[in-house]
Amino acid sequence: MKKRTRRILFWIAVVVFAVATWVVIRYAQGYAYDWNAGQFVRTGAIAVTVNTSAELFVDDQLSGSTSFLGNRAGQDRLLPGTYQVRLSRDGHSTWRKEAIVQEGFLTDFPSVMLLPLDDESVIDLKHEASASLSLARLSSEPHKAAVGVADGIFTLKGTTLWRTDAASASIVAESVLGFARPTDNSRILWWTRNDVFVLWLRNTDYQPFHTEGDRQQITRLSVPIRRAAWFRGRDHIVIDLGSQSYRILEIDTRGGVNIIKL
Could you report the per-residue pLDDT of 32-78, keeping only the tens digit for each? 666 666 666 788 999 999 999 999 999 999 999 987 667 999 999 89
What is the per-residue pLDDT across 71-115, written as a single tens digit (0 to 9) for each?
A: 999 999 899 999 999 999 999 999 999 999 999 899 999 999 999
pLDDT in the model for residue 11: 60
Residue burial 150-176, b: 16+ Cβ < 10 Å; e: rest: eeeebbbbeeebbbeeeeeeeebbeeb
In CATH, the architecture of 43-112 is Sandwich (2.60)
pTM of the model: 0.84
- How far, in Å, CA of 200 to CA of 215, rounded? 6
Domain ranges of the chain: 3-34, 43-112, 119-261
Higher pLDDT, 133 or 149: 133
pLDDT in the model for residue 29: 47
What is the per-residue pLDDT across 152-201, written as a single tens digit (0 to 9) for each?
A: 899 999 999 999 987 789 999 999 999 999 999 999 999 999 999 999 99
Q: Is the pLDDT of residue 14 over 60?
A: no
